[in-house]
Amino acid sequence: MTTQDASQPQANSLTKMQAGLNESSEPMTTTYTVNWQSQGSPSDHLTLGHDASTHGPDVTTQVLKQAGQLDISNITTLKYEIRLPGLHGLPLAKRISLDRAAEVQLSCRLKSKYSHLKILQVTWKKGSEIIPHNKTENGWSIQLIISDVSKLGSYSCILKGQQEMRATFHLQAPKIEAKEKPVISYKGDMTILICKISEYTPIAWTWYRTNRSEQIAINDSVLADKYVIDRVFANVTRLKILKLTEEDSGLYFCEAAFKLGKSRGKLQLKVLTYAVPLKPFVAVVAEVATLVTIIFLYEIYSKKKGGAKHKKEFDQIEQLKSEENNGSEGSSARQRRTESLS
Convert the pLDDT of each residue in 235-248 to its tens digit: 999 999 999 999 99
By the 8 A CB rule, do 259 and 98 touch?
no
Confidence of residue 11 (pLDDT cuts 50, 70, 90): very low
Please list the alpha-helical segments (H only) found in 50-132.
59-67
**Is residue 291 within a helix (H) or strand (E), and if so which, with residue range?**
helix 275-341
Residue ranges of domains in the chain, CATH in brackets: 2-172 (2.60.40.10), 177-275 (2.60.40.10)
Q: For residues 9 and 207, which has the higher predicted lDDT (pLDDT)?
A: 207
By the 8 A CB rule, do 214 and 172 touch?
no
Report, as an integer, the average pLDDT of 188-199: 94
Q: What is the pLDDT of residue 211?
A: 83
**Burial tier of 104 (Cβ tally within 10 Å: 0-12, 13-18, 19+):** buried
Distances (CA, A) of 266 to 54, 95, 141, 204, 270: 41, 20, 36, 17, 14
Please name the residues in contact with 157: beta carbons below 8 A apart, sequence gap of 6 or more: 106, 108, 122, 123, 124, 133, 140, 166, 167
Report, as an integer, the average pLDDT of 138-145: 92
**Nearest residue to 237 via CA among 226, 252, 250:** 252
Dist. CA 247–CA 240, nearest whole Å? 16
Confidence of residue 64 (pLDDT cuts 50, 70, 90): very low
**Nearest residue to 139 via CA among 163, 164, 157:** 157
Report, as an integer, the average pLDDT of 28-46: 40
**Across all residues in the chain, what is the average pLDDT?**
76
Up-side HSE of residue 93: CA atoms within 13 Å toward CB?
A: 9
Dist. CA 125–CA 103, nearest whole Å? 18
Please name the residues in contact with 303: beta carbons below 8 A apart, sequence gap of 6 or more: none
Please name the residues in contact with 253: beta carbons below 8 A apart, sequence gap of 6 or more: 207, 208, 209, 210, 215, 264, 265, 266, 267
Convert the pLDDT of each residue in 267-291 to its tens digit: 999 999 876 566 676 678 778 888 8
Kindly write down the DSSP assignment for every residue of 166-177, as one continuous string.
Answer: EEEEEEEPPPPE
Q: For residues 135 and 50, which has the higher predicted lDDT (pLDDT)?
A: 135
Q: What is the pLDDT of residue 141?
A: 95
What does DSSP say about strands 134-136 and 139-146: parallel, antiparallel, or unpaired? antiparallel
Q: Nearest-5° angle of CA 108, CA 113, CA 118?
A: 65
